[in-house]
Structure 1
Amino acid sequence: MTTISQSSLKFTLITVGTLACGLCLGFGAGCASSHSHSGSEAVEMPVHPFASRVIPPSGVPRSELPPPIKISGIGGSATGSADPVVIDSRTFRPQVAEHGLWRGEEIRPGSILPKHSRDKTLKPGPANDLECGGLTGVPRVDPKSVALFPGIGATPWTPPDPTLAVGPDHIVETVNMEIAWYLKDGTLQFQQRLDSSGDPGFLEGIGAGGFTFDPKCFYDAQRERFVVLALEHYEGESWITLAISDDDDPNGVWFKYRTDALIEIDETIYWVDYPGFGFDDTVWCTTSNLFKEEGPGSGFAGTLVRSYDPTGALNGDPITWTDTVTSSGSHQVAQVPDYDSPALLVRSGSSTSIELVHVADPLGTPELITRSIAVPEYSSANERPPTPGGANLNPIDRRVLNVMIRNGTLWVGHSVSTPEDSRTTARWYEIDLDGWPQAVQGQPFLLQAGEIRPNADTHTFFPAIAVNGDGRAAVIYSRSSDTEFPSLEVAGRFPDDPLGTLGAPLTLAVSDAVPGSPGDIYRWGDYFDATMDPLDDQLFWFVGELYGPDGWETEIGSFRVQLVGDVNGDGLIDGADLATLLSDWGTSNPASDLDGSGTVGGEDLSLLLSNWS
């Protein structure tokens, strides 16, 4: 693949960099330097293991495969169980695989799966007068609190689809098709392929073949477990494969379950794709789009909702689950860290709605109960975000990307266009659940909506949202334009900020290159991830995608949403803080060095004045 580097666009980037730093000064946002995770020395390009675009057999004899799970149709249900395979990660040698970054052709997993599609037409919804807020000039993310380290780099697969799980001492990351974990200072402890191309692959010991895809992970703090998911597909096979740590340390014993997911509905067989993954006090829940494997029925059957009972998996006993099916597609599952709500399913509804689905009695006889929430009008992300090299990024569509529930409200984001602006734009919502679904008569409603539009030219996309118990929230997202390399940014808010607003954006990291040639379309994403630290509910964590000379990269980091400019720590920003900062001008006093640059100067003054009490 051709890449365009920053050095080949030096004049443009100098101009953009100067402008960016000017904007940072004006809005109180820090400027991040572009970077690369590795060198770009010339090497012989390896042949992709799937260059033929054919998925090899898994190696399981047909006679040993389970029969498809029969479900009577929409609203029907079935149950299943699987035995564990117990694997100790400390037996992998080496702990960090030595294959290095992939330097050959990148292949999108969806391109070698069976041909599949569904009707993604966005139905028009009832008109309303709801509006979105925007960005303010007030910094809410403390630049000094930002800590970054490189995550997994290029594998044979694109896009990376990064997710992360944050435990007391460790960060677990998954991408297509690898897993790694780190100490919180970025020290890499373990990294392996997920599939059988490893030596061994992380899931190979349970039977995973050469093709896993769409991995996800989370940390369930109440149960003190890391939980990892990956999908598999081979001819006549579909699997949802799980791995659960035996405690809050990913080093050591994992209980792994290969749960069959070939579904038969009305004599047609379906396989699973594009998982949602969340949890509450009762279940670990997955959602997956159902596409036809064989048979006379429709090519798309809806969403498989699978609710796992965690009880057995906590101790390495068999895991059981209950399946049901809903007619719509591309649901995400809420993560509920405080166990104060069921893990609702969320999807894009009509052009003026977001749809919430509650799975009542998920481990018994599941019933799907739906609420439609009115939101400002939107359409799918219509424009491909441009890059300086002339290639365009594919932000997929309007689907919901991640969901978190805290203190009775649901936070969610997606990429959209609007009737007023066809640019791709990151949008977020906070929905007041009004006690629903525990309160049967509760009527959830939109509390606030916001969009991220830094200027008239920039596109923003792939928002990942997290919120702490105090109601402080942050959205991590990508931005690019025909003069801006793709970057990672964050904007935050306090609970008493004006509804629909986020504070001044802070640039976290900037790509060193862009993929492709002029006119190419490069699949970005498909999603980023954000969550809270289980030991420190003021510390936000995220993972997102960048691009460098050697291919895609992932960046992991943390930050705090807190008052910026309170030099003396009295909870106010006033003359006393200003006097201290001016007296420290030109020094390296960390109390007045608000942007963390090492020298007290103009950007620190701008940050202080932006938050003046």
Structure 2
Amino acid sequence: MKIRLLIAVAAMAFATCALSAPQTTLTLHKARTTVPVTTPVGGAPLTSLEQDPAMTAGDADSGDQEDLGPPPVVNRTIARGHAGSQRMGQAKRAKSHPNLLGGFDGLNFYDQRYANGGNQFSVEPPDQGLCAGNGFVMESVNDVLAIYDTAGNRLVGPVDLNTFYGYTAAINRTTGAYGPSITDPSCYYDAATKRWFQVVLTLDRVGTSSTLAGTNHLDIAVSQTADPTGAWTVYSLPVQNNGSDGTPDHGCAGGFCLGDYPHIGADANAIFLTTNEFALFGSGFYGAQIYAISKRALVNASATVNVVQFNGGDPNVPAPAFTVWPAISSGGQFVTTNGGTEYLLSSDAVFYDSGTSNTIWLWSVTHTQSIDTTPAALALNVAPVTVQDYAVPSSLVQQKPGSAPLRDCFALTGCAPTYLGYPNIVYPTPRPMAVNDSRMQQVSYANGKLWGTLDTDVLLADGSHGSGINYFVINPGSRGVFANGTLALPDANLTYGAAAVTQSGRGVIAFTVVGPNDYPSAGYASLDAKAGAGDVTIAAAGAGPWDGFTGIPYLGGGRPRWGDYGAAAADGNTIWTASEYIAQTCTLSEYLTPPLFQCGGTRGALSNWATRISAIGL
């Protein structure tokens, strides 16, 4: 109740004036150059060390407070409660594939685990980083990337992210040496400068041990030309925010902050990166961080680059700053008022005990054209926008039953101890999957409007609670709402929605469809500022159930993870989408046929996630 009261007071204040946040001016230094080169695929099908000890911890979109792994445990929980929405799913399934130009399978768990000769950990969930332009499509996931032409031909990849960013392997399986731990990739093609930007969160180790050093940074790779298969310049931005390496001291418990969940946006003058700041070696959320970085200097590969950091956790910022997602531009459209402006959106339902809200927050950074000359002139403002009620979805949802050999091996007497080295455990058939919380997802600026989505609780036809997608089309100048509704099916869940929009204002929401009658599938729906969201179209139907290691004791524990975010990108009149789905199925017998656990190169021992890249013409 106290949190709701504070937010209500903040909303009243913002109705009459905007509040600027304190800022810190930093300098970004060039680290190295790199060229994406395909790494060999191979290695042992299963080892005694499959998960990175640094990453087996509490996750960002869970309300679960369990200790999910060996120290250090990064507790990235924040959701206070799950709501009981009464909003029914009303969307229909399209009978055809309107505007679907084609698609192809992107990166999968086999690519991820066996890239760089198998010197990788098993990682789940993959997450999605997608960008497109100049005849190329680039996809990055935890922890590999690939570059394609628009026909779906893979030009480069898989490239493990440790190699791409110039680090040693995530785990050297010959020597046992650890490299830096990399996570949460995102990418963006800037049509105005014809450059590609790729960002990850990198956590340093103590030497080559598994122990985290505490220092962590956003690694920003910038292509040197419009061709992403060529050379890139890499910059490193420290985000531990404890006073070291030029960072401000935010007093995070345990001495180091964590720049979790980085995402990318841009206006004409700056690249914007945002993080959720948690304590790395303790508990506590310290507010979202917003970084404005000189685009000109990045594109010119300058030795030093101006950065302005805004601390959303500062007490002078009364709005709750969590997952403040910066807008990406469609085709180089930018806001030129107020000396150049970047818009961002966030939500706040996770801060309420009820898990519900009817407010999202519109953030803006103004005077961005001063980033190179007078960075202190940049100012951060935030104001509330009243929208349709949305709610934190229920944690777990059902999927269609089917063959799941990892689950079946755990259930079959003697199978898991013999082949996996773990005790037998019997799970429901099928295992449930986790969905997103109600944090803001990808934000776009196009045709003078802001477009965004978030996952929300909905009521399914059978009376159970599931996940749908709340969408917003907002006038950022007046804070008026052009379109706002909930896209939901009565018999399936829609989750991890991501919206992209063409310059003319025609959009697409990409998502995963999963339910009692649906294997995890790649879906999409149209989005219009007047008509709202259209019918749900399945771009690629799932071939079988998700069968991954998270949620299993000894193999990740915690929730059965599925994702953290999807991705979509506008390229002219084409929208490219990347959604997680299941592209394969196999039996336990096939799973145990040599080479073990790979089912003909379609999966790995501990998971079977895949991604689908689709092109939608508008």
Q: Tell me the TM-score normalised to structure 2 length.
A: 0.68
Shift of 1:287: 0.8
- Aligned partners of 1:454, 1:309: CA distance in 2, in Å? 43
- Does residue 250 of the first structure (1) align with residue 250 of the second (2)? no
- Does residue 463 of the first structure (1) align with residue 497 of the second (2)? yes
**AA matched with 1:323:** Q
SS of alignment partner, residue 453 of structure 2:
strand
- Does residue 145 of the first structure (1) align with residue 101 of the second (2)? yes
- Aligned partners of 2:291, 2:540: CA distance in 1, in Å? 36
Deviations 1:567-590 (CA, angstroms, capped at 9, x unpaired): xxxxxxxxxxxxxxxxxxxxxxxx
- Does residue 359 of the first structure (1) align with residue 377 of the second (2)? no
SS of alignment partner, residue 291 of structure 2:
strand
Q: Which residue of 2 aligns with 1:609?
A: none
Q: Which residue of 1 aligns with 2:482?
A: 447
- Does residue 371 of the first structure (1) align with residue 383 of the second (2)? yes
- Aligned partners of 1:248, 1:101: CA distance in 2, in Å? 37
- Aligned partners of 1:224, 1:205: CA distance in 2, in Å? 30
Contact 1:398 1:414 in 2 (8 A): yes
Change (3 A) 1:184 1:106: farther
Query: Quick check: 333-342 or 551-560, which moved more?
Result: 333-342
SS of alignment partner, residue 329 of structure 2:
coil
Change (3 A) 1:203 1:174: farther
**AA matched with 1:240:** L
Contact 1:276 1:286 in 2 (8 A): yes
Query: Quick check: 176-185 or 415-424, which moved more?
Result: 415-424
Superposition map of 1:335-346 within 5 A: 335-337=328-330, 338-341=332-335, 342-346=341-345
Tell me which of 525, 548, 554 is aligned to 2:611: 554
Q: Which residue of 2 aligns with 1:300?
A: 285
- Does residue 332 of the first structure (1) align with residue 325 of the second (2)? yes
Query: Quick check: 413-422 or 332-341, which moved more?
Result: 413-422
How many percent of aligned residue pairs carry the same amino acid?
A: 20
Structure number, greater radius of gyration: 1
Q: Which residue of 1 aligns with 2:563?
A: 525
Shift of 1:527: 1.0
SS of alignment partner, residue 311 of structure 1:
helix
Q: Which residue of 2 aligns with 1:397?
A: 437
Shift of 1:510: 1.6
Contact 2:258 2:277 in 1 (8 A): yes
Structure 2: which 5+ residue stretches go unaligned? 1-19, 58-68, 113-121, 171-177, 205-212, 243-248, 314-320, 336-340, 350-356, 402-428, 553-558, 586-602
Tell me which of 536, 539, 542 is aligned to 2:577: 542
Structure 1: which 5+ residue stretches go unaligned? 1-73, 437-442, 562-613
**AA matched with 1:407:** N
- Aligned partners of 2:470, 2:141: CA distance in 1, in Å? 24
Shift of 1:246: 0.7
SS of alignment partner, residue 218 of structure 2:
strand
Q: Which residue of 2 aligns with 1:80?
A: 26
Change (3 A) 1:101 1:75: farther
Deviations 1:72-115 (CA, angstroms, capped at 9, x unpaired): xx93322222332453527x4xx343338976646693526642
Shift of 1:528: 0.9
Change (3 A) 1:140 1:310: farther
Q: Which residue of 2 aligns with 1:181?
A: 147
Contact 2:482 2:529 in 1 (8 A): no
- Does residue 224 of the first structure (1) align with residue 264 of the second (2)? no
Tell me which of 282, 285, 290 is aligned to 2:277: 290
Contact 1:96 1:190 in 2 (8 A): no
- Aligned partners of 1:368, 1:380: CA distance in 2, in Å? 27
- Aligned partners of 2:128, 2:453: CA distance in 1, in Å? 16
- Aligned partners of 2:216, 2:543: CA distance in 1, in Å? 36
Shift of 1:413: 0.9
Contact 1:413 1:426 in 2 (8 A): no
Change (3 A) 1:495 1:516: closer
**AA matched with 2:301:** G
- Aligned partners of 2:569, 2:123: CA distance in 1, in Å? 25
Change (3 A) 1:188 1:266: closer
Contact 1:147 1:557 in 2 (8 A): yes
Count the aligned residue pairs.
463
Q: Tell me the TM-score normalised to structure 1 length.
A: 0.68
Q: Which residue of 1 aligns with 2:297?
A: 312
Change (3 A) 1:454 1:209: same
SS of alignment partner, residue 284 of structure 1:
strand
**AA matched with 2:91:** L
Q: Which residue of 1 aligns with 2:338?
A: none
Change (3 A) 1:206 1:86: farther
Shift of 1:285: 0.6
Shift of 1:429: 2.4
**AA matched with 1:211:** S
Shift of 1:335: 0.5
Change (3 A) 1:192 1:292: same
SS of alignment partner, residue 397 of structure 2:
coil
Q: Which residue of 2 aligns with 1:135?
A: 91
Change (3 A) 1:138 1:555: closer
**AA matched with 1:173:** E
- Aligned partners of 2:219, 2:366: CA distance in 1, in Å? 24
- Aligned partners of 1:175, 1:101: CA distance in 2, in Å? 22
Tell me which of 256, 261, 268 is aligned to 1:281: 268
Shift of 1:478: 1.0
SS of alignment partner, residue 497 of structure 2:
strand
Q: Which residue of 2 aligns with 1:347?
A: 346
**AA matched with 1:433:** N
Contact 1:476 1:491 in 2 (8 A): yes
Q: Which residue of 2 aligns with 1:22?
A: none
> What CA RMSD, in Å, does the superposition of the two structures yield over aligned residues?
3.3
**AA matched with 2:80:** T
Shift of 1:382: 1.3
Change (3 A) 1:511 1:277: farther
Shift of 1:193: 4.5
- Aligned partners of 2:312, 2:250: CA distance in 1, in Å? 15
**AA matched with 1:253:** A
Change (3 A) 1:518 1:191: closer
Contact 1:390 1:519 in 2 (8 A): no
Q: Which residue of 1 aligns with 2:217?
A: 239
- Aligned partners of 2:197, 2:88: CA distance in 1, in Å? 35
Deviations 1:319-356 (CA, angstroms, capped at 9, x unpaired): 22111101222221111233333332211124111111
Q: Which residue of 2 aligns with 1:428?
A: 470
Contact 1:133 1:450 in 2 (8 A): no
SS of alignment partner, residue 352 of structure 1:
strand
Contact 1:132 1:500 in 2 (8 A): no
Change (3 A) 1:203 1:222: same
- Aligned partners of 1:140, 1:406: CA distance in 2, in Å? 27
Contact 1:206 1:258 in 2 (8 A): no
- Aligned partners of 1:79, 1:206: CA distance in 2, in Å? 33
Change (3 A) 1:144 1:320: closer
**AA matched with 2:220:** L
- Aligned partners of 1:447, 1:100: CA distance in 2, in Å? 53
Shift of 1:172: 1.2
